């Protein structure tokens, strides 16, 4: 055991040494991956490694070097064992704490806080952490983990300890640090000094909190958003239930194809529905024109505002509620209903007295999901909001518009966060344990009874009508890309596609279309983010399900909670956190990738947890007792068995990276523009044709990817009939 302990210490100490003497300590313009720094590593001041920086007057780096030296000393002078482990863990912890302290205290222009300047005198400013600093930080984190392993924590499993430490570090940096930065940002002036003025002004702003609408005026934005979310949640829950009942409890002929609806929210970029609605019902929408010419009424701009947003959200989120409620409706044990029938209750009474009450917790769950989705929605309000937006769009305009008022953005974001987190907490704490569904999936025989006739007919009619509306709206999307000028000139054309995706040939291929740039960036970033998301998510799932460590439930809870943070809040907190040292990455691809990874990771976690729950826990233990370490167990046993879950996580995070807009729109830059942000730009310029054409192409790409995935997994199932570890249906992940 001693040799293994020493070998991994040697590795990270070597990494630490290289990072200190041979890698640029600070971030610099031109970029680490440009590799031009290699030539001038010791000459140019900005790319000097940490050791040289320390020698040339940056005293704040001496403790870092000293700590690494202490760690090396411990490695070579002391035998492996609990005492040394404890010392190493302390070195790591102090190292992290020191880097945190000095990184946050010394900014670009010297001390960040006046108090420190008064106490210690002047200090030279420092740029953000670069490659060297990041690697040394990781080395410190691993020292904590390996030290704890030597002490025998978690049965001395270094792999597990290292994974936990790094995950905690990553989540702290990419979830909690941004949120904290956002809140502190609200209390800062432009020059960084403390002020509570902005917050005080905004927190009582009647534009946010006014309840005047009760007396006929206009309500504040917080209440408007809340009201909208309640309406959307109610509507989608009811419609979702209608669809779920039709799909599971009627003899409706096309109920199989109804399920196709559930794929829609996954493949539709969030603003597309709003866009299609504009084309149908907007001022010059086709339906508007038909009605106006038939009746002579002036319909005007009724669509822009809460009504329009509500319709768009109903279209967007009903499928999600449908998906959740199919599970609920199917999960009710048929024998309950059969029992009720044998107790002299007819179908109607059974439905009212048994089925519906059993569904109640599931309905509440669907309601809360709809509520959170509506609150977090950014795309539809952006397209349809008109003058009166909702919280998420207001946050956006508070920072990008003329006002640039971070305090206001922070206050609005906090309000939004409180709403969504309350719903999330209600879902987790109050609804947990109130689930009557039979989760075993085994069922106890019997079949669900059909709906009583007096319910079935209305339910089917509503479902068919809504499905027809959905199809019309999506038809608009396809059709709109081929129409010259919507509302004015309906002659067909390929112009939009050519302008967006034109390709010329002169000796080599030239991507002349305007969309290619953002398209390729999107693909590239989505392709990088997807495997990272899947890896981080599944590793976390494995830790949560299979390892028992102190704070595990807190860890899981915090992770899941991060899913309830609206994208807009994430976007704003990222730009506030990562715009200045110690961690600076706005305008890079890294920030986009980090955003996708940590935003979509909870889905990977949930998928992984579900898949792992089906794997017998003694499989890992068997592998351990057969002499395989945790890493080998992971590679040889867990990963092969989880292949469908991994594929699902990959596909899902890829698709999410393509369709998301709310966080992305804050983080894109001229160099790294994403498709969705680009499309929103087109919409704002009124170039609907290209926007729609581009959206259709994105949808097509995603259908292809998902179809391919289904084929792959389906094929696997055919090959191995005995295999029960079927892939969790992709769509389910979108549901919560």
Which residues of this chain interact with other proteins, rule CB under 8 A? Answer: 1, 82, 152, 155-157, 616, 618-619, 621-630, 632, 636-637, 640-641, 722-723, 725
Choose between 655 and 713: whose C-beta lies nearer to other proteins.
Answer: 713
Closest contact distance (angstroms) between CB of 632 and other proteins is 6
**Could you please report the per-residue DSSP string of 147-194?**
HHHHHTGGGG-HHHHHHHHHHHHHHIIIIIHHHHHHHHHHTB-TTS-B
Torsion angle of C-alpha atoms 43, 49, 51, 57, degrees rounded to 10: 60
CA dihedral for 573, 579, 585, 587, sign (positive or negative): positive
Choose between 84 and 496: whose C-beta lies nearer to other proteins.
Answer: 84
Q: How many CB atoms lie within 10 A of CB 440?
A: 9
Spell out the SS3 assignment of 286-355.
HHHHHHHHHHCCCCCCCCCCHHHHHHHHHHHHHHHHHHHHHHHHHHCCHHHHHHHHHCCCCHHHHHHHHH
Closest contact distance (angstroms) between CB of 633 and other proteins is 8
CA distance 308 to 380: 9
**Among 651, 700, 707, 710, which residue's Cα sits nearest to residue 675?**
700
Choose between 217 and 550: whose C-beta lies nearer to other proteins.
Answer: 550
**Chain centre distance of CA 528:** 15
Whether 467 contacts 258, CB under 8 Å = yes
Closest contact distance (angstroms) between CB of 636 and other proteins is 7
Structure token pair of residue 198: 């902005």
Choose between 161 and 369: whose C-beta lies nearer to other proteins.
Answer: 161
Choose between 159 and 511: whose C-beta lies nearer to other proteins.
Answer: 159
Torsion angle of C-alpha atoms 15, 20, 22, 27, degrees rounded to 10: 110
Choose between 387 and 625: whose C-beta lies nearer to other proteins.
Answer: 625
Choose between 159 and 176: whose C-beta lies nearer to other proteins.
Answer: 159
Closest contact distance (angstroms) between CB of 155 and other proteins is 5
Choose between 34 and 83: whose C-beta lies nearer to other proteins.
Answer: 83
Choose between 154 and 569: whose C-beta lies nearer to other proteins.
Answer: 154
Choose between 514 and 631: whose C-beta lies nearer to other proteins.
Answer: 631
Choose between 109 and 155: whose C-beta lies nearer to other proteins.
Answer: 155
CA distance 168 to 175: 10
Burial 187-200 (b: 16+ CB within 10 A, else e): bbeeeeeeeeebbe
3-state secondary structure of 219: strand
Closest contact distance (angstroms) between CB of 32 and other proteins is 37
Closest contact distance (angstroms) between CB of 623 and other proteins is 7
CA dihedral for 599, 600, 603, 604, sign (positive or negative): negative
**Strand runs labelled E in 366-507:** 483-485, 489-492, 503-506
CA distance 26 to 124: 14
Range 544-551 contact pairs with CB under 8 angstroms and sequence separation of 24 or more: 544/605, 544/609, 545/608, 545/609, 545/612, 545/613, 545/617, 546/612, 546/617, 546/620, 547/154, 547/160, 547/164, 549/154, 549/160, 549/164
Closest contact distance (angstroms) between CB of 5 and other proteins is 11
Choose between 507 and 627: whose C-beta lies nearer to other proteins.
Answer: 627
Closest contact distance (angstroms) between CB of 76 and other proteins is 23
Choose between 155 and 352: whose C-beta lies nearer to other proteins.
Answer: 155
Closest contact distance (angstroms) between CB of 641 and other proteins is 6
Closest contact distance (angstroms) between CB of 79 and other proteins is 14
Closest contact distance (angstroms) between CB of 1 and other proteins is 6
Closest contact distance (angstroms) between CB of 15 and other proteins is 24
Closest contact distance (angstroms) between CB of 642 and other proteins is 10
- Say whether the peptide bond before residue 626 is cis (omega within 30 degrees of 0): no
Which spans in 547-642 are helix H?
552-561, 567-577, 589-613, 618-625, 630-633, 639-641
Question: In sequence order, which residues have a C-beta less than 8 Å from that of residue 637 and are 6 or more positions away?
Answer: 619, 620, 623, 628
Closest contact distance (angstroms) between CB of 546 and other proteins is 11
CA distance 656 to 596: 8
**Among 551, 556, 553, 547, which residue's Cα sits nearest to residue 620?**
547
Whether 144 contacts 165, CB under 8 Å = yes
Choose between 160 and 483: whose C-beta lies nearer to other proteins.
Answer: 160
CA distance 664 to 521: 13
């Amino acid at each position: 055991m001693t040799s293994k302990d020493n070998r991994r210490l040697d590795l990270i100490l070597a990494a630490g040494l290289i990072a200190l003497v041979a890698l640029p300590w600070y971030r610099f313009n031109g970029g680490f991956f440009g590799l031009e720094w290699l030539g001038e590593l010791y000459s140019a001041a900005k790319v000097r490694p940490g050791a040289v920086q320390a020698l040339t007057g940056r005293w704040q780096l001496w403790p870092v070097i000293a700590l690494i030296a202490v760690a090396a000393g411990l490695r070579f002078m002391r035998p492996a064992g609990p005492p040394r482990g404890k010392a190493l863990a302390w070195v790591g912890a102090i190292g992290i704490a020191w880097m945190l302290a000095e990184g946050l205290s010394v900014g670009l222009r010297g001390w960040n806080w006046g108090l420190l300047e008064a106490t210690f005198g002047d200090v030279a400013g420092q740029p953000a952490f670069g490659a060297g600093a990041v690697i040394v930080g990781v080395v410190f984190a691993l020292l904590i983990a390996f030290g704890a392993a030597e002490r025998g924590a978690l049965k001395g499993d270094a792999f597990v300890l290292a994974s936990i430490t790094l995950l905690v570090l990553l989540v702290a940096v990419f979830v909690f640090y941004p949120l904290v930065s956002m809140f502190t940002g609200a209390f800062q002036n432009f020059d960084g000094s403390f002020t509570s003025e902005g917050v005080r002004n905004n927190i009582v702003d009647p534009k946010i909190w006014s309840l005047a609408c009760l007396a006929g005026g206009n309500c504040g934005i917080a209440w408007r958003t809340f009201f909208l979310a309640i309406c959307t949640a109610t509507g989608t829950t009811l419609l979702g239930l209608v669809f779920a009942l039709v799909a599971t409890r009627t003899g409706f002929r096309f109920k199989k194809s109804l399920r196709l609806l559930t794929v829609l929210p996954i493949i539709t970029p969030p603003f597309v529905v709003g866009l299609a609605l504009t084309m149908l019902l907007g001022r010059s929408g086709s339906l508007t024109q038909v009605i106006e010419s038939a009746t002579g009424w002036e319909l005007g701009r009724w669509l822009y505002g809460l009504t329009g947003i509500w319709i768009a959200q109903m279209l967007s989120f009903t499928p999600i509620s449908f998906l959740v409620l199919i599970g609920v409706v199917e999960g009710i044990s048929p024998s309950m209903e059969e029992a009720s029938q044998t107790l002299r209750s007819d179908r109607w009474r059974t439905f009212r007295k048994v089925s519906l009450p059993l569904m109640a917790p599931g309905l509440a769950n669907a309601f809360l999901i709809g509520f959170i989705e509506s609150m977090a929605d950014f795309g539809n309000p952006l397209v349809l909001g008109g003058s009166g937006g909702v919280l998420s769009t207001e946050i956006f305009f508070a920072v990008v518009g003329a006002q640039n008022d971070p305090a206001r953005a922070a206050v609005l974001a906090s309000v939004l966060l409180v709403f969504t987190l309350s719903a999330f907490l209600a879902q987790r704490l109050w609804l947990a344990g109130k689930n009557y569904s039979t989760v075993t999936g085994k069922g106890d025989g019997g079949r669900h009874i059909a709906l009583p006739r007096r319910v079935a007919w209305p339910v089917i009619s509503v479902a068919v009508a809504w499905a027809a509306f959905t199809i019309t709206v999506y038809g608009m999307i396809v059709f709109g890309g081929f129409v010259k000028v919507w509302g004015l000139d309906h002659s067909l054309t390929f112009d939009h596609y050519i302008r967006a995706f034109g390709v010329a040939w002169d000796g080599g291929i030239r991507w002349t279309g305007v969309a290619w740039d953002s398209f390729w960036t999107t693909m590239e970033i989505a392709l990088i983010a997807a495997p990272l998301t899947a890896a981080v998510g599944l590793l976390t799932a494995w830790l949560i399900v299979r390892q028992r460590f102190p704070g595990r439930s807190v860890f899981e809870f915090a992770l899941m909670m991060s899913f309830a943070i609206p994208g807009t809040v994430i976007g704003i907190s990222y730009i506030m956190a990562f715009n200045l040292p110690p961690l600076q990455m706005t305008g890079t691809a890294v920030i986009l990738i980090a955003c996708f990874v940590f935003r979509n990771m909870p889905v990977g976690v949930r998928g992984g947890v579900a898949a792992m729950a089906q794997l017998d826990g003694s499989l890992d233990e068997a592998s351990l007792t057969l002499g395989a370490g945790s890493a080998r167990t992971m590679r040889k046993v867990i990963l092969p068995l989880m292949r469908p879950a991994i594929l699902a996580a990959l596909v899902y995070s890829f698709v999410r990276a393509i369709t998301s807009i709310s966080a992305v729109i804050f983080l894109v830059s001229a160099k790294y523009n994403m498709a969705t942000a680009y499309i929103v730009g087109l919409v704002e310029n009124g170039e609907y044709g290209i926007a729609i054409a581009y959206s259709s192409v994105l949808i097509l790409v995603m259908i292809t990817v998902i179809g391919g995935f289904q084929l792959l997994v389906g094929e696997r199932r055919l090959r191995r009939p005995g295999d029960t570890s079927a892939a969790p249906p992709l769509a389910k992940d979108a549901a919560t």
